[in-house]
């Protein structure tokens, strides 16, 4: 009996030792396995993050990427500005059955010192359009001044430049002697926007703005008022195209160049910002200009220190026609 009891005790002890050893090994293996699993999980997570497009849930991936793209575009990339080209404007003019161009400016646009309305640059442009488009009726409206720096009271009876059977082009002259950008903004609603209170046959399809000689000496005000003028037209008459025409010059030249160089640059910068076309009359004018020289080196192109003579007006008109009909 004692031998049997001792034998059973030995068996129990052996079994207990085996059980403890087995559990210790199993626990160690589990810890190793858990560590390996954790490392594997971290590796898998890192791998998934680095290859987001391969995530098995496409809806999450697409929604996230789309949102991220929109936020990036909104915060970093301004909307594209569509550049309206001179070629596009010419195409509209040629394809339209009833097209109106309004020239906006000061005494140079009015044609002061020109020998007649026909030899002002606006008159010459109307004649040039008629020659280039012989199948069109071309009509010209000449603004009538109401005194220095005052809004135009109205327009003359239309001048029939040419009769044609294939549509009509109307050319309007809205120039006021002494005008600056700010005064032009003040008169725009009653003088050249819309139908000018019924004095014009229709809204303009194209504005060509030529100002700057009277603004010389106050560049910051010029830039501010030019922006106001352009933005008001774009907001209230968005169907009307705008060409900014750089100013000629003044006779008060500096040794290093014209005092209106900066005004020309400012106009071109605004045009680039707003997507507007430019006719660079200033560049053409300065080819003939000698600062400080007799008659500014311009000979018979000028009538006085600010205004062109007939040959000077023809120079401006030729530049406009060359750019419009490239």
Q: What is the pLDDT of residue 326?
A: 86
Contact in structure between 188 and 82 (CB atoms under 8 Å)? no
pLDDT band at 259 (very low <50, low <70, confident <90, very high): low
Gap between the Cα atoms of 90 and 93, Å rounded:
5
The neighbour count for residue 90, using CB atoms within 10 Å, is: 15
251-266 in b/e form (b: 16+ CB < 10 A) is bebeeeebbbbebbeb
CA dist 321 and 326 (Å) reads 8
Query: How far is residue 102's CA from residue 252's CA, in Å, rounded to a whole number?
Result: 29
- Each residue of 131-140: pLDDT tens digit? 999 999 999 9
Is residue 159 a contact partner of residue 133, using CB atoms and an 8 Å limit? no
- Percent of the chain past pLDDT 90, that is, above it, reads 57
pLDDT at site 165:
95
Dig out the tokens for 36 from the structure: 């390996």
Q: What is the mean pLDDT of residues 82-100?
A: 95
Mean pLDDT, rounded, of the chain: 78
Q: What is the pTM of this model?
A: 0.74
Contact 189, 199 (CB under 8 A): no
Statement: residue 47 has pLDDT above 70? no
The stretches of the chain forming alpha helices (DSSP H) are 2-50, 58-76, 86-95, 107-110, 121-132, 181-191, 219-236, 261-274, 281-286, 310-324
The tokens for 6 are: 């001792």
Cα separation, 172 vs 155, in Å, equals 9
DSSP string for residues in 267-311: HHHHHHHHT-EEE-HHHHHHTT--TTSGGGG-GGGBSSSS-B-HH
Between 50 and 184, the more confident residue is: 184
Q: How many CB atoms lie within 10 A of CB 127?
A: 19
Do the Cβ atoms of 246 and 278 come closer than 8 Å? yes
Strand 98-105 with 206-210, pairing: parallel
- Burial of residue 179 (CB within 10 Å: 0-12, 13-18, 19+) is buried
- C-beta atoms surrounding 105 within 10 Å: 25
């Amino acid at each position: 009996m004692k031998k049997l009891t001792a034998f059973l005790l030995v068996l129990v002890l052996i079994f207990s030792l085996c059980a403890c050893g087995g559990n210790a090994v199993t626990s160690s293996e589990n810890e190793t396995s858990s560590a390996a699993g954790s490392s594997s999980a971290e590796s898998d997570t890192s791998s998934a993050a680095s290859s987001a497009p391969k995530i098995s849930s496409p809806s999450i991936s697409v929604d996230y990427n789309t949102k991220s793209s929109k936020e990036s575009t909104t915060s970093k990339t301004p909307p594209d500005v569509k550049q309206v080209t001179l070629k596009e404007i010419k195409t509209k003019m040629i394809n339209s059955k009833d097209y109106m161009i309004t020239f906006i400016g000061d005494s140079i646009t009015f044609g002061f010192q020109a020998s007649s309305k026909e030899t002002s640059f606006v008159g010459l442009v109307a004649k040039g359009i008629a020659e280039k488009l012989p199948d069109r009726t071309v009509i010209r409206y000449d603004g009538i001044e109401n005194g220095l720096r005052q809004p135009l009271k109205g327009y003359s009876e239309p001048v029939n430049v040419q009769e044609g059977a294939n549509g009509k082009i109307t050319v309007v002259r809205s120039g006021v002697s002494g005008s600056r950008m700010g005064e032009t903004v003040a008169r725009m609603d009653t003088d050249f926007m819309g139908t000018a209170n019924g004095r014009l046959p229709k809204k303009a399809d194209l504005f060509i703005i030529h100002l700057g000689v009277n603004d010389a000496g106050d560049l910051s005000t010029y830039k501010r008022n030019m922006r106001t003028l352009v933005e008001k037209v774009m907001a209230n008459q968005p169907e009307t195209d705008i060409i900014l025409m750089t100013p000629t010059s003044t006779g008060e030249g500096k040794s290093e160049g014209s005092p209106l160089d900066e005004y020309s640059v400012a106009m071109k910068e605004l045009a680039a910002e707003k997507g507007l076309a430019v006719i660079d009359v200033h560049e053409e004018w300065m080819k003939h200009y000698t600062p400080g020289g007799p008659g500014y080196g311009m000979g018979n192109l000028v009538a006085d220190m600010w205004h062109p003579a007939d040959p000077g007006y023809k120079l401006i008109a030729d530049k406009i026609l060359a750019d419009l009909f490239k």
